Structure 1
Amino acid sequence: MSRPHVAGRPTWRCDACDRPWPCEAARRALLAEYRDDRAALAIYLATLLVEATGHLTDAARWDRFLGWIRPGPATRQGTRLGP
């Protein structure tokens, strides 16, 4: 059985593939899970970003946690995330 692609703390590397989290597999899973509500995905990842700030010092935190989210389908409320 394969391991889930979740963040290991305090390194914030994927427990399954040891890449910086969220790895590509985690991103795909998150996009599928939150496909109808990108705003909720952004809130979830922003919460993790705040937690990771206590562990990580690199300047790429924003890109790593939130920069990869692109505007997607309308959310349940009829709004879009991003420009």
Structure 2
Amino acid sequence: MPRYRQHVAARPSWRCRVCGAAWPCSPARLALLGEYREDRVGLLVYLAALLCEATGDLPGQAGRERLTDRFLTWARAR
């Protein structure tokens, strides 16, 4: 039976080490939502810190708005 591999970011590209998609990929998002299910604010703080790191690693490669959508917008409570 295949073992689950965590979908984590490879830096400085911020691509998923498992599937190669822009991180956080769909499996990473699901895992993060599960891990922080009782602490949405904590999830947003964690993702904001990663957004700051990614902004430093990806200067000029992605607009600030696109990175904000990629790292934060999906995680806001609806």
Shorter-chain TM band: 0.7 to 0.9
Contact 2:44/2:76 (CA < 8 Å) preserved in 1? no
Compare the two structures and name the one with the higher helix fraction: 2
Letter in 1 for 2:53: E
Letter in 1 for 2:62: D
Structure 1 length-normalised TM: 0.81
Contact 2:16/2:25 (CA < 8 Å) preserved in 1? yes
Aligned residue number for residue 71 of structure 2: 65
Structure 2 length-normalised TM: 0.86
Identity %: 56
SS of corresponding position for 2:72: helix
Matches within 5 A, 1:1-83: 1-56=3-58, 57-59=61-63, 60-71=66-77
Q: How many residue pairs align between the two structures?
A: 72
**Alignment RMSD (CA, Å):** 1.1
Consecutive aligned runs of 4 or more in structure 1 exceeding 4 Å deviation: none
In the alignment, structure 2 segments of 5+ residues that lack a partner are none
Quote how far apart the aligned CAs of 1:55 are. 1.2
In the alignment, structure 1 segments of 5+ residues that lack a partner are 73-83
